Amino acid sequence: MVVVLALAVSGVAVWRWRSGGTSPPAGSNGGSLASPGPSGSPGGGEPGPINTAFPGLTTFRGNATRDFYGSGPMPSNPHVLWRYPTTGGLCAKSNGSGIGFHAGTRVWCGTGWTGQPNVIPNARGGTEVRIGAFDRAYHFLNGLTGKPMRHDLATGDLAKGSATTDAQGYPLYYGGSRDNLLRVIALDRAKPTVLWSLDAMSAPNPTWNNDWDGAPLEVGDYLMEGGENSYFYIIKLNRRYGLNGLVQVNPKIVMLVPGWDPALLQAIGDDDISIENSPAFDAQRGIVYFANSGGLVQGWDVSDLLAGGTVYRQVFRFWDGDDTDATIVIDPQGDLIVARHIEESFNRTRSGPTDRSIGSLMKLDPRNPGNPVVWSVRAGSDLPDGGMLGTPAYDRGTIYALATDGELVAVEDQTGAVLWRMVGVFTKPTWTSPVAIGGDLLVGDCAGVLRNFDISDPSIQPRERWRVQLSGCIESTPAVWDGMIWVGTRGGSFEPDRRTQMFHLGTPVWQIVVRSLVVYLAVFVGFRLTGKRELGQMTIFDLVLILLIANAVQNAMVGQDVSLQGGLVAAAVLLVVNRLVAEARLRSPLVSRLFEGQPTVLVERGRLLSAHIHRQGLSEEDLWMALREHGIDRLEDVQLAVLETDGSISIVPTSAQTYRSHRPRARAIRKKS
């Protein structure tokens, strides 16, 4: 059974937790370093979760080496079980400007590129799914029903990346936002409560941006995180339980280092050096790895720090040539799987030679810092925005990586041999990270299609087992647990390809009806107040105004909906209301006067009534134009000129023959019965 969770009109496939699980511990000092086996693959055999005391997926890619993707089996015949929210999208307006650049304000919807749900089963047979979304909130949902299990935690801006659940069982949740703040959140209160926060602007020299995109990594009592302010942090949490039984923290920053150096700035020629990936940690060697948007890959020995000391030192530095936002994956030998993207915001001419000499997917040996490239593979385009943004998946000796142009490649980890390539299947841009579990490979694309492939034999190009159509571009990484899949999309007003929402109502029908009625009334009142001129004596300025109004009120009628039936409902409401108004006008003189008003005399017995003309928004030239249309060039020849309720000007000359101006005008046309 698959549950597709629609984060902003999207889905997440989920399987039910069958074996239950142990309750999180009532307390723990949390001071010991996690063992390398269960928390990552180096030296520990098959990858496992970082959380060993209880089941679940607690951080982006599941563990410290970022190669645990959940627990199978994968569903064989999936369908959408529920969506959150049931209608509309998780949307909010946000300004994309940062420290080093300016961008406009627009509406963002759904869940983002680095987002992956946390999945936390409990001993009672339930499952909690925790997500951050673009509606400026973190949500805590029942994994089986999609109903909220806790109050939302509101943030001041987009919750862009993945948050992390405490791996040792403390009721704590760690997550950042575009509002500059990285938060430590307690989940043992009546509502999620922020115990501590870190402002990205508090760094000595914040550079480029102030968002938090990566998923924090909790190792023992320490939290590791890089920010778009281009700094890397390690924070000692000092977790404990108070006398009231509630969790407490007293965080202290014990490591703060810039993610760049002068050599990097000289190499790239710009200051886009933010850290957008999630830190990876080799517990066997005590080294944390991260990279930045300038392409600098770093490794820091923090073993003394995590043992309670104060010493940390850089032990690995490598410039791969360009934007490295995908999270580093550490393979069982301790080598680094790195995916590179070609920066589209700057013309990095100095990066070109390195981009061409090293493929966008590479394996680095950090024990050989002088010449670390074991192998590299070219995948995706070398043009701006080419390469990879999604994090590669490591599974049983094979690397699966998805390029932004939709190319999927499988590479043998030991040799770098390309086993197969798949092109022309996925709708670009493809930013999501593939998920490999038990011989299955999940891959989403920007048409909202989530596919599962058979990789039981990685040496041959896989066949497609099944696909599910969701609403909106899939940027986020799916979370898999015990037969279910949860995945967020960018459904809502921001979609590179809206075809996937053609038949999915994004706004309830009753809302579309009410919205359309209100808009009809508001526009009608507006035109009544502007006078009858707007109907009959239309100028180019009036035409522009009407076109702009039509565009402005479109979203007011249908909200976030972009479906076919939503537009048809709105059109039907307008047609029905217009028909009802027309019938009421014919049957009631009072209604007719209310909707149409009364004729206005503009000229009487050759005398120009200037006050009447100006009150209706006309100029004297408009009147003379109507007179000239019928060969009248003197006011003395006009017995009566009247601005009719439909906006036309009727003229009665002194010769007693009646004329009506033929200027373009809006007029109701009915069939005679």
Question: CA 503 to CA 499: how far, in whole Å?
Answer: 9
Predicted local distance difference test score (pLDDT) of residue 195: 98
Predicted local distance difference test score (pLDDT) of residue 666: 35
Beta carbons within 8 Å of 103's beta carbon, 6+ residues apart: 95, 96, 97
Predicted local distance difference test score (pLDDT) of residue 341: 95
Going by pLDDT thresholds of 50, 70 and 90, the confidence category of residue 558 is: confident
Given a cut of 70, is residue 662 above it in pLDDT?
no
Going by pLDDT thresholds of 50, 70 and 90, the confidence category of residue 11 is: very low
pLDDT in tens, 404-453: 999 999 999 999 999 999 999 999 999 999 999 999 999 999 999 999 99
Between 573 and 290, the more confident residue is: 290
Name the least confident of 146-150, 219-223, 628-632: 628-632
Question: CA 537 to CA 539: how far, in whole Å?
Answer: 7
Determine what percent of the chain is predicted with pLDDT higher than 70: 83
Helix (H) or strand (E) holding 525: helix 509-530
Predicted local distance difference test score (pLDDT) of residue 23: 33
Predicted local distance difference test score (pLDDT) of residue 657: 54
Predicted local distance difference test score (pLDDT) of residue 667: 35
Predicted local distance difference test score (pLDDT) of residue 538: 56
Predicted local distance difference test score (pLDDT) of residue 532: 52
pTM: 0.71
pLDDT in tens, 606-622: 777 777 777 777 777 77
Predicted local distance difference test score (pLDDT) of residue 560: 54
pLDDT in tens, 352-378: 777 778 999 999 999 999 999 999 999
Between 93 and 645, the more confident residue is: 93
pLDDT in tens, 498-542: 333 445 555 678 888 888 888 888 887 776 666 554 444 556 666
Whether the Cβ atoms of residue 421 and residue 360 lie closer than 8 Å to each other: no
Arithmetic mean of pLDDT, 4-31: 34
Whether the bond between 664 and the residue before it is cis, its omega within 30 degrees of 0, is no
Predicted local distance difference test score (pLDDT) of residue 669: 31
Question: CA 443 to CA 109: how far, in whole Å?
Answer: 21
Arithmetic mean of pLDDT, 34-62: 73
Between 503 and 78, the more confident residue is: 78
pLDDT in tens, 459-484: 999 999 999 999 889 999 999 998 89
Predicted local distance difference test score (pLDDT) of residue 531: 55
Arithmetic mean of pLDDT, 243-271: 96
Name the least confident of 119-133, 250-264, 489-503: 489-503
For the chain, give the mean pLDDT.
83
pLDDT in tens, 51-75: 998 999 999 999 999 999 999 888 8
Predicted local distance difference test score (pLDDT) of residue 539: 61
Predicted local distance difference test score (pLDDT) of residue 595: 67
Predicted local distance difference test score (pLDDT) of residue 557: 78
Predicted local distance difference test score (pLDDT) of residue 409: 98
408-434: b or e for each residue (b if 16 or more CB lie within 10 Å)? bbbbebeebeebeebeeebbbbbbbbb
Question: What is the dihedral angle through the alpha carbons of 191, 195, 200, 205, rounded to the nearest 10 degrees?
Answer: 170
Task: For strands 638-643 and 181-186, give the pairing.
Answer: unpaired
Predicted local distance difference test score (pLDDT) of residue 415: 97
Arithmetic mean of pLDDT, 11-27: 32
Predicted local distance difference test score (pLDDT) of residue 559: 64
Question: CA 613 to CA 618: how far, in whole Å?
Answer: 5
Whether the bond between 24 and the residue before it is cis, its omega within 30 degrees of 0, is no
pLDDT in tens, 170-185: 999 999 999 999 999 9
Predicted local distance difference test score (pLDDT) of residue 622: 77
* Burial of 549 (C-beta count, 10 Å sphere; 0-12/13-18/19+): middle
Predicted local distance difference test score (pLDDT) of residue 24: 35
Name the least confident of 255-264, 307-316, 557-566: 557-566
